[in-house]
């Protein structure tokens, strides 16, 4: 296990490793590439706001919906296109957490993204947004466990 590996799900660990090997400019470029990969919010969540939850702590409007598919939790994000940094991190979370159970989401280290070296590429405000987005996903996962879905 390398110094950047901290017991993450395999796909998320791959993403962390990819970022950790890049310089600042390339980290930002890769983050932009991820932002372009974030799928649009599924129509079923656009038709009613009852399924969307706002991450109030983020400066950028971030709305999240979650659903269970068997034992797996799936997260959907609605973030304005003019916020590529936040969209990029949402896409990383969506891809890196794909296939996980709510418990596995809860078990993620709250600061795993430091292994990516993003603190050298993003402002503290953006890092706070990343932290609060992850914290919100963990709250949703905890609620899913408590509700026994």
Say what the pTM is: 0.89
Given a cut of 60, whether residue 1 has pLDDT beyond it is no
User: Is pLDDT at 16 greater than 60 in this prediction?
Assistant: yes
What CATH architecture does domain 29-144 belong to?
A: Alpha-Beta Complex (3.90)
Residues 6+ away with beta carbon under 8 Å from 25 = none
The arithmetic mean of pLDDT across residues 19-47, rounded, is 93
Say how many CA atoms lie within 13 Å of 53 toward its Cβ: 18
- Indicate whether 133 pLDDT > 60: yes
**Top-confidence residue, 43 or 17:** 17
Per-residue model confidence as pLDDT tens digits over 78-97: 999 999 999 999 999 999 99
Domain ranges of the chain: 29-144
């Amino acid at each position: 296990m390398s110094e950047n590996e901290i017991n993450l799900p395999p796909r998320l660990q791959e993403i962390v490793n990819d970022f950790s090997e890049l310089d600042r400019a390339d980290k930002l470029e890769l983050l932009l590439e991820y932002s372009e990969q974030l799928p649009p919010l599924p129509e079923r969540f656009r038709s009613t706001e009852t399924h969307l939850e706002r991450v109030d702590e983020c400066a950028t409007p971030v709305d999240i919906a979650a659903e269970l598919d068997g034992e797996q939790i799936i997260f959907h994000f609605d973030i304005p296109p003019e916020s590529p940094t936040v969209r990029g991190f949402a896409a990383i979370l969506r891809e890196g957490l794909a296939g996980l159970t709510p418990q596995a989401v809860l078990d993620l280290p709250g600061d795993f993204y430091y292994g990516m070296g993003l603190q050298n590429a993003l402002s503290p405000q953006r890092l706070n947004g990343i932290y609060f987005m992850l914290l919100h996903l963990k709250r949703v996962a905890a609620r899913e466990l408590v509700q026994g879905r």
